[in-house]
Amino acid sequence: MPAPFASLDAFRSLLQTLPQPDAAARAQALARDAVLTKPAGSLGRLEEVAQWVAAWQGRAQPRIDHPLVLVFAGNHGITARGVSAFPAEVTGQMVANFRAGGAAINQLARTFGARMEVHALDLDRPVADFTAQAAMTEAEVAASLAAGWNAVDPAADLLVTGEMGIGNTTSAAALACALFGGTAADWTGRGTGVDDAGLALKTQAVAEGLALHAGATPLEALRRLGGREIAAMAGAIARARTERIPVILDGFICCAAAGVLEAEVPGALDHCIAGHQSAESAHGRLLQALGKVPLLSLGLRLGEGSGAALAIGVVRGAVACHSGMATFAEAGVTAG
């Protein structure tokens, strides 16, 4: 269905009426786990993950048959400040690579049976440099939220959102700091691999943006400091909640997008799990702010949804064990 909002106020109102997990399905999943042919607790976090999926899918024996990976791309005016190791034209070049099937995310999506789509958002019109003015108008941020919302297929049973946008770790750092406090240095990392001078430029840009846009509400901070691809991820994650689709969060930029929803309405990310902790220096801090414990920690810092796509395997494994294992009664095994 088309996005049921055309303004930040309408989107804010939508977030106040999000569906909740199915407590009965979770209880039934917990009861099933107790009689599966394994010692109690022996599958560790896989048991928790399976019960989480059950609660959002509303069935005691959940399935993951149609995972979806959505990659959103956008360009940032802040790149003119020298905050990235790569030029802005790389965003469009990588979109072409995604569409040709040549990126890491293509391989991971294929490996774990996920359908992948790429959505390029006005790459010829970078959002404004947030150190000089708001990154987006209200119409632009609402359109980007709607692009993410509309990209979600309601038939999906697991969602990963990824991004591509040269300069977007700078935007994400500013947004995370605006949402959760601290200093620019607390949240600014090396992103695609800037040197010490580049890191200093990034940190200064984040500090200037925060000073210019101080006091903004979470959604207003998204408008002022974010990017189209960041807003689109937030829109897609919110749509997944309305469709009761579990979400695997990716790295620092994805979690900054998700953090807007959580800061606006606590509990808005209950349908989300952290796929991994990346090597971006502030990602662990952001996960703590969101109350999320990552499934994986492999030193990844690629973005694209790659760490979350890798975690699809963990979630599928958890669900397969929970829903496919025999009970003690079915197997004729004597319970301890």
Q: Which residues of the chain have pLDDT under 70?
A: 1, 336
The active-site residue out of 220, 229, 280, 304 is 304
What pLDDT does residue 336 have? 64
Packed helices 45-57 and 23-33: angle between N→C axes, nearest 10 degrees: 140
Nearest to 237 by CA among 210, 265, 269: 269
What pLDDT does residue 335 have? 78
d(CA 83, CA 104): 24
Q: Which residues, including other chains, have CB under 8 Å from residue 153's CB and lie 6 or more apart?
A: 66, 68, 115
d(CA 286, CA 253): 10
d(CA 145, CA 5): 9
> The pTM is what?
0.97
CA dihedral defined by 41, 47, 52, 53, rounded to 10 degrees? Answer: -160
304 is catalytic: yes
Residue pLDDT, tens place only, 223-280: 999 999 999 999 999 999 999 999 999 999 999 999 999 999 999 999 999 999 999 9
What pLDDT does residue 1 have? 66
